[in-house]
Chains A and B, each alone.
Chain A
Amino acid sequence: MSDMICLKALDLLDREITIIDISGTVIFANEEARDLIGAKPGDTEAFGQFAGLWSEPAEEVRAVIRRLAGSSGWQPITLTRKSGRHAGLRIPMRGRAFLIEPNDPRSLYILVTSDRHRERSFEHHRRLIRHLNVQLAEGSRSEVLLTGLLESERRMRQELVHRVKNNLALLLSLMRLNRNRLDDPEIAGPLEDMERRILSIATVHDLLDRNQETDFVRADELIDRICAELETALVPGTVRIQRDLTPVRLHISDATPLALIINELITNALKHAFPQGIGTIRIRLGKNGGKTLKAVVQDDGVGATADTCESGQGTRILQALAQQIRGEIVRSVESGTTWQLTFTPREADEYPLSSRVH
């Protein structure tokens, strides 16, 4: 019973205790030492040779044991763990010999224990590792939680995009229904303009929904879709819309005003540039050096006078939309009318975090 109490007490000690016999075999290791040695919890035997635990050559370790075996005085030793989670660490220890049977030199044993004094830096290192492991585990749990929350938020945002798209489609249907009942072109015309503007916004949401995105769309796909819608709704067969569009991703904060600008410019060209109903509209989207983008809408029609355009509601809308994306829009009139929009798309880190994580 007292042996069990002693063994339990040794296991509870917060320092490694190892006992080696004079053949160099580890005959006892307390719980801390078993952890250091890499023995399984609960192991009470078969620890092997002490020399086998360290990286130093076996002959060097045996010389250390022999030195410790020669005296009851505590002597410092430092050895490097060969394997286990402490592999490569220099372990400061102290050891001494003791005799069980005073008249039997073969009852000589060596007690080796961690050196608390010299171990301070090692212990600090070990505590730091434990602390970092705890933090790592907490970090991993937080990451799983946050990833789940972000995924949940992304799904909600996708659902929101889907509902906005459907609501815009419903709104457009109602507007068309009401417009078709109107006989007065003075009222029907502005309503039709409004429909096309709403359609441009709806196109942004339709692209988001189709591509299961919540924040970014391909600007080239967006302009192409707007052109296709206008071709169907407005463009007579004798007017062509040519596209030269560089693939580029835009945040909806930039993409929505751009869609409205392109819609406005094509609509204006169709209304004013081709009194004969024949002509070509060219649309280019590309990089203008660095991070700046350039969108050009050019027609080969008669062109409108500068006074008319700059004072018109359409132009005010264009300027306001260009300001919204911190861009500049300019018009030139020669053989036709050319509108040139330059702007720098906002970087991903200019948007809220949730907009950037997919």
Chain B
Amino acid sequence: MRDNPSCEAQQIVSQAEIALDRDLFFRRMLRELTGTIEAIVGVEEASGYVATVGAAIGDWINTAYHAKAGPEDFDIRTVAAVLVHLKQRLEGGFYIKSIDAKQIVLGNTNCPFGHYVQGRTSLCMMTSNVFGRIAADNLGYARVGLERTIAQGHGECHIVVHLVPRENVMPDEREYFRVPADLSI
């Protein structure tokens, strides 16, 4: 008498070592989604969409840290610590290279999106917006420069969060402003 074929198939499937879990699924989905958007509307337009999402995520994370640490603005060192901490929570390899009154310099050895970020430069707008939003909302102004990124094919990211405005902004930089809370908009 033969074994039930459907039970045998179930056993094969359950024992298969497929690299699939919820985290991988979402990262893969994000890669495909951003790839599709970049292909259809272009990298610049796709970056605009990701920036919109990044701003909302930045707001959300900033609010979450303030909910624990109090409503007062964070100082530069705390902001830098928050940036590194939030990325570590996402399994990123971010670390502080240097801090002074004018800028926070960060490095990153491991992107939270993993290798799925390669070739998807619009996803870097997530980091720029989250970092810029948190820094500007606490320190008044931020200008994030993504000088080197894993997405572009570099081995490590090199990110500078400038804290002082200047007249000329470099092409790879984005400015973030704190919108005064007392304004009517």
Contacts and interface: CB of A to CB of B under 8 A. Distances in A.
Interface of A: 22-24, 62, 65-67, 69-76, 94, 97-99, 102-103, 105-106, 108, 117-118
Contacts of B184: 23-24
Contacts of A70: 55, 133, 136, 176-179
A73 B177 contact: no
Contacts, number: 83
A105 B166 contact: no
A66 B45 contact: no
Nearest to A74: B48
A105 B140 contact: yes
Nearest to A117: B45
Contact of B185 (A66, A73, A75): A66
Contacts of A105: 140-141, 177-178, 180
B46 to A, nearest CB: 10
Interface in B129-173: 129, 132-133, 136, 140-141, 164-167, 169
> Secondary structure of the A side of the interface?
mixed
B179 to A, nearest CB: 5
Contacts of A118: 41, 45
B51 A73 contact: yes
B13 interface: no
A102 B143 CA distance: 12
Given A24-B184, A102-B165, A69 B179 contact: yes
29 contacts: A22-B183, A23-B183, A23-B184, A23-B185, A24-B184, A24-B185, A69-B177, A70-B133, A71-B129, A71-B132, A71-B175, A72-B174, A73-B48, A73-B129, A74-B51, A76-B48, A97-B175, A97-B177, A99-B165, A99-B175, A102-B166, A105-B140, A105-B178, A106-B180, A108-B177, A117-B41, A117-B42, A118-B41, A118-B45
B55 A103 contact: no
Contacts of B169: 72
B116 interface: no
A264 to B, nearest CB: 82
B48 A71 contact: no
